[in-house]
Structure 1
Amino acid sequence: MSHSISSAKKTATGPLWKMGTFVPFFGPNLHAVTEVTVSMDDVAVHAGSPLLNKFDAFNWDSLSPTDGRIDTSALKDAEPVITAAANAVLLSADRMAAINLQGLLPAVSDPVASATTQLRELSTGLDMASAAARLLPEMLGDESPRKYLILVQNNAESRATGGIPGALAVLNVTKGTIELGEQTSASALGEFIPRIAVDQEQEDLFTTRIGRQMQNVNLTPHFPTAAFSAKQMWETRYPDDLIDGVVALDPMVLSYMLTAIGAVELSDSHLDDVLYRTNLPVSLNSDNVVSTLLSDVYRELEDNNAQDAYFAAVASEVFRSFTQGHGDATHLVNALVHSTSEQRLFLWSSRVQEQEIISRTALAGSVTGARAGGAAFGVYFNDGTGAKMDYYTRRTVQLLKSCRADGLGRYTVQVSIDNGAPKDAADSLPEYVTGGGIFGVKPGNIRTNYVLYGPEQSLVEGLTVNGRPVSFGSGLHGQRPVATVTIELQPGESTDLNVTFFKVSQDSVAQITVTPTAVPLSEVLLQSVDEAPCS
């Protein structure tokens, strides 16, 4: 295979082929093929062969927990090879993403788009593997016991990093052995007075609520801030629990994990009465866990404590199955990689050196710093309904690239939004789901605060809703401009939100991060369009 790729590279970089790239119409297609073959050869030489040689006899099941313990010695030994491969794949993924697909023949553009997506996912996976090889031994308590706070984000009530962190749990880790500790809910922690301190820029953008309730720590899309605030809140309520790190995930992550682990059976005796009185499933699998946790539980259970108990039971069973090594290890790794690529899985460490490594991966969830450089955009959703209506919201996001008359690069972030709740939502859905008119939102309506980030040192040109200019909030986070606007939709109503940024660098590949919702990212993030490139 590598020999064939090498031969293809020689052909595609030869003098005759290079001459062909200057031919009108055919030239861009030949150039695209050249970029693909060079990228594939780099991956084969610098990543594929070394990894295959290193892991020919490697048993990936050794990374799967056994009797509640993970042995990371083999992964630690492989770290140099994994890190070199991760760097090679990242460079190739960037090369592929820089190919302009507009005007190419479908026979060329379709495979290029597919290969780019696959390389991005491979890059994310290798980034995770490289970071894991360097971090896991210490983070799993080889040197000293560790304690991690788990935030289970509920996408039915949007927050910038995914959803309201309703269910909370603590993991205790010692020499690779993982045990589930305290479980509770964000609401049980109450309000924090005085509030937890957050830097002024983010308070200006997201109000002081960000430091007053655990439910609001992730109004900011910058996960390091959300995680540090969550750590401080937990330690304020539980002074004996010093938190070493924070992990966030959502029900879609549980769904992907259950694809690898298999179904889990709820056996918590505390749930006997709850389950007897409802139609909630006792068996949770990859097909029903999302709808159950984000919708059905609110229809069946009106009591907050009962809802929390059900969430806790599900989390406990998934955790138990994971730590007992159930399912296929390779599929589980793939599930975690996919979750990270969709920005559903985040990690933060209180140890500076560890966080420095994490910050260079997608697990960091950072909107400032190295990973936020270049043409980086962000579209984030914060619920303003005060309820669980986001389960019914459907959105798509697309980047449209063009060029101003003055030659400055321009990108328009286009967000299409639909309230898919039933027309009779005010009557057919529980008040806990609709909000019952709290915060002045009519039951059945969905109010959302949209937060849109442009690239560093770019400028906001304008914002429209359904093609009409509207007033909007503006601010800065680091050197990134931020536009905010609130939109409320009735059941069945749709709208389009466009925000245009200009003075955007043309030398880097555009990337966009979107708040994860109750549907796969592939159904939300559409292919970028280059309408009028700058010469």
Structure 2
Amino acid sequence: MKRRWVLVVAGLLFAATAVTLFVALSVALDLAAARRTLFVAPQRLEAEDVEDALARLERAEGTLESLPARAVGWLPVVKQNFDAVHAVAEGAAPLLTAALELGRAIDEVQAEEVFVEGAVNLELLGGLEAPLRDEVGALADLAEIVEARRNGWLLPPLWSDLNELLDRLEELERSTGTAADMIALAPQMLGGDEPRTYLVALLNNTELRGAGGILSGVGSVTVRNGRMSLGDFQHYRQLAGDPPYRKVPAPADFEEHFGAYQADTTRWVTASSSPDVPDVALVTSRLFEVTAGIKTDGVIFVDPRGLAALMPPAAKIDVPTTQTSLTAEELPTYVYRDAYSELGGAVSRRRDSLIGLGEAAFDVILERGFTRPSVLRAIGESFAGGHLSMISFEAEESRVLESSNLSRDLGAPSYDGILATVQNIGGNKLDSYARRSIHHGCRIDGDSPARCATEVTIQNQTPAGLTRFEYQYRPYGLFKNVVEIYIPAAAKVVSVEADGESADYFEAPEDGFEAIGVYVEIPRGGEAKIAVAYDLPHEDSYSLEVLPQPLVDDARLRVELAVPSAWTVDGPEGLVRGDVVVWEGELDRIIEFHAGPSEKSGLSALWEKVGRFMSEPVF
């Protein structure tokens, strides 16, 4: 009799397990297909794809309400996991519908051409705000459902899926909310209430400054009811005048750090020394008002890579005084390298031709617009890498631009943060031949201060045969750089080294960072390594923001984080997890990492502990 009961119980358990697996697999397949549609960009959504995803969600819900599911759905663990999946499937349908409506609104805007002959159709653009707000609401609702359904009864795979889904939903909610705010502010920023005038600052990364490159040209664009018109562009020398230079009011950090370079004076050439771009905007706008007599409402910073991103890919512009025509793809290389041999060095022909080239590029941009999907993607990448920046002096607009990382406000890191910049103080045009790599490592044990170190390696790959204007002085190809590594203001410096030896350095505050500066000379074919080690106050979690300096060629970044075994680490795609978490890639945007104790509880937490125990060495 006892054996019979054992066999009956075993049979029931086997049957329950089989039914549970059948239901779970069927639902998982449908949800996986729906999820792929869920995170497609709205403008790429097709009605048939959404209808298919909604049908799959409905089928998943039907499976969870079927007789087999109800037969096992009352069992502990099974019930909580089925309920969580059911709630998410039910909550995803409104988000898919909202995404489809947003996609249709974007298609309508693109079909009507929101930008025509130098003018933005403000009414058409404003039609995107309502569907964007609906999308934000749907994202927030689903995120709330997912958050509420995470509990200790969830099996590890489902917990991980929900956690990943929640992160993605929160990220999209923030970015979509920022887009909605931008659309709401667009009419006033584009002169809908009253005309707006923006300073346009052309930067050249062949001679580096903190904001990216030397300020080579300045002009303006005026917007009235969405219609844009260019003002005159001039080389900075035409505005600088003769010494003694006049000072303009500058933020305290800017004046303290860069006053020695006369960055806050009508000398102009060093005005872009700070990586805190809103500070540079304030200073350059005041300089422009003093020297050109034009008051501006904000500033647009653009380097050759950013200018190329704004141009339609098939457009061609002529280089004044030459027979050369350039596509968007060809423009950066020409400005960075070819222009010196074709146009000469410190001569008015070269200066006037490059300023004319910048004006011609903006003429094409205003004539043909920049709303094509490929152009918008390129613009987004340029903003992310700092090759384009926009600053408004109106408080609410400034807040939205800052929250979307369009203004490159330096700000303060949440905990750990790094930025490596070069100030080219030799005056040569060789920074297009520099190759930079950054290594950041941090050891966090959760009980004591975090010990971190950043090492910046700069290689001098200057080729032979450059013009005198490019290399400027002898020995040929020598870099004369001030390398500044920005670390959190709360950090305590442990050591500063150049090529493995203790180095002389200076410190300067900038927003929530402290700049550690070292002067280096790097001969042609050589390299320099600058390293800063520091401690951070103990906290129960860790976060890192790595900021890029806009370069001709993006820096390489390697991050290594040693964290407690019970912690989880989130970061960009490509994280390699082991005893030390490692990520390596291009520093072409702000890169963020977050680490802290696992939020898992119950079964998922127990499974994680067992996994850690099993992975520990026996001896």
Give the TM-score band, short-chain normalised: 0.7 to 0.9
Structure 1 partner of 2:102 = 54
**Uncovered stretches (5+) of structure 2, i.e. residues with no partner:** 1-32, 39-56, 65-75, 144-163, 567-619
Describe the shift of the 1:326–1:224 C-alpha distance in structure 2 as closer, same or farther (beyond 3 A): closer
Describe the shift of the 1:120–1:468 C-alpha distance in structure 2 as closer, same or farther (beyond 3 A): farther
1:453-493 CA-to-partner distances (Å, cap 9, x unmatched) read: 21242222222222222121113224422211112100100
Give the secondary-structure state (helix, strand or coil) at the position aligned to 1:528. strand
Amino acid at match of 2:470: V
> Which range moved further: 327-336 or 161-170?
327-336
Describe the shift of the 1:118–1:348 C-alpha distance in structure 2 as closer, same or farther (beyond 3 A): same
1:2 aligns with 2:34: yes
1:526 aligns with 2:569: no
Given candidates 318, 337, 346, the residue that maps to 1:266 is 318
Inter-partner Cα distance in structure 2 for 1:344 and 1:156: 13
1:1-43 CA-to-partner distances (Å, cap 9, x unmatched) read: 43677879x9xxx969x99xxxxxxxxxxxxxx9xx9xx9999
Inter-partner Cα distance in structure 1 for 2:488 and 2:183: 31
Inter-partner Cα distance in structure 1 for 2:456 and 2:169: 26
Give the secondary-structure state (helix, strand or coil) at the position aligned to 1:516. coil
1:455 aligns with 2:488: yes
Describe the shift of the 1:47–1:69 C-alpha distance in structure 2 as closer, same or farther (beyond 3 A): farther
Describe the shift of the 1:448–1:407 C-alpha distance in structure 2 as closer, same or farther (beyond 3 A): same
**Uncovered stretches (5+) of structure 1, i.e. residues with no partner:** 20-33, 93-113, 277-281
Identical residues among aligned pairs (%): 18
Inter-partner Cα distance in structure 2 for 1:285 and 1:118: 37
Amino acid at match of 2:559: S
Aligned-residue offset at 1:221? 0.9
Inter-partner Cα distance in structure 1 for 2:239 and 2:546: 34
Aligned-residue offset at 1:119? 9.8
**Contact 1:404–1:410, Cα closer than 8 Å, also in 2:** no
**Contact 1:398–1:528, Cα closer than 8 Å, also in 2:** yes
Structure 2 partner of 1:342 = 385
1:75 aligns with 2:125: yes
Aligned-residue offset at 1:84? 7.2
Aligned-residue offset at 1:60? 4.0
Inter-partner Cα distance in structure 2 for 1:117 and 1:261: 35
Structure 1 partner of 2:257 = 205
Structure 2 partner of 1:320 = 363
Amino acid at match of 2:247: R
Inter-partner Cα distance in structure 1 for 2:350 and 2:170: 37
Aligned-residue offset at 1:389? 1.0
Describe the shift of the 1:221–1:74 C-alpha distance in structure 2 as closer, same or farther (beyond 3 A): same
Inter-partner Cα distance in structure 1 for 2:90 and 2:245: 55
Describe the shift of the 1:319–1:199 C-alpha distance in structure 2 as closer, same or farther (beyond 3 A): closer
Inter-partner Cα distance in structure 1 for 2:385 and 2:364: 23
1:492 aligns with 2:521: no
Inter-partner Cα distance in structure 1 for 2:327 and 2:132: 32
1:167-316 alignment, distance < 5 Å: 167-190=217-240, 193-208=245-260, 209-212=262-265, 213-239=267-293, 241-258=294-311, 260-266=312-318, 271=320, 274-275=321-322, 282-302=324-344, 303-316=346-359
Aligned-residue offset at 1:378? 1.6
- Give the TM-score taking structure 2 as reference length: 0.67
Describe the shift of the 1:43–1:396 C-alpha distance in structure 2 as closer, same or farther (beyond 3 A): farther
Structure 2 partner of 1:24 = none
Aligned-residue offset at 1:435? 2.0
Aligned-residue offset at 1:409? 1.4
Inter-partner Cα distance in structure 1 for 2:414 and 2:452: 15
1:434 aligns with 2:481: no
Describe the shift of the 1:460–1:174 C-alpha distance in structure 2 as closer, same or farther (beyond 3 A): same
Aligned-residue offset at 1:289? 1.1
Inter-partner Cα distance in structure 1 for 2:405 and 2:428: 29
1:419-469 CA-to-partner distances (Å, cap 9, x unmatched) read: 0002x4xxx2222211225xxxx4310111112221242222222222222
1:517 aligns with 2:545: no
Give the secondary-structure state (helix, strand or coil) at the position aligned to 2:306. helix
Describe the shift of the 1:312–1:245 C-alpha distance in structure 2 as closer, same or farther (beyond 3 A): same
Structure 2 partner of 1:129 = 179
1:151 aligns with 2:201: yes
Aligned-residue offset at 1:311? 1.8
Describe the shift of the 1:169–1:75 C-alpha distance in structure 2 as closer, same or farther (beyond 3 A): same
Aligned-residue offset at 1:323? 1.7
1:337-486 alignment, distance < 5 Å: 337-368=380-411, 372-403=413-444, 407-422=448-463, 424=464, 428-436=465-473, 442-486=475-519
**Contact 2:310–2:370, Cα closer than 8 Å, also in 1:** no
**Contact 2:250–2:282, Cα closer than 8 Å, also in 1:** no
Q: State the structure with more CA Rg.
A: 2
Query: Looking at both structures, which has the greater relative contact order when contacts are Cα pairs under 8 Å and sequence separation is at least 6?
Result: 1
Aligned-residue offset at 1:359? 2.4
Describe the shift of the 1:74–1:214 C-alpha distance in structure 2 as closer, same or farther (beyond 3 A): same
Inter-partner Cα distance in structure 2 for 1:395 and 1:116: 36
What is the total number of aligned residue pairs between the two structures?
A: 469
Aligned-residue offset at 1:353? 2.7
Aligned-residue offset at 1:516? 0.9
Inter-partner Cα distance in structure 2 for 1:316 and 1:401: 46
Amino acid at match of 1:486: Y
Aligned-residue offset at 1:507? 2.7
Describe the shift of the 1:328–1:347 C-alpha distance in structure 2 as closer, same or farther (beyond 3 A): closer
Inter-partner Cα distance in structure 2 for 1:458 and 1:64: 48
Aligned-residue offset at 1:144? 0.8
Describe the shift of the 1:322–1:201 C-alpha distance in structure 2 as closer, same or farther (beyond 3 A): closer
Structure 2 partner of 1:111 = none
Task: Give the RMSD, CA atoms, in angstroms.
Answer: 3.8
**Contact 2:114–2:124, Cα closer than 8 Å, also in 1:** no
> Which range moved further: 473-482 or 245-254?
473-482
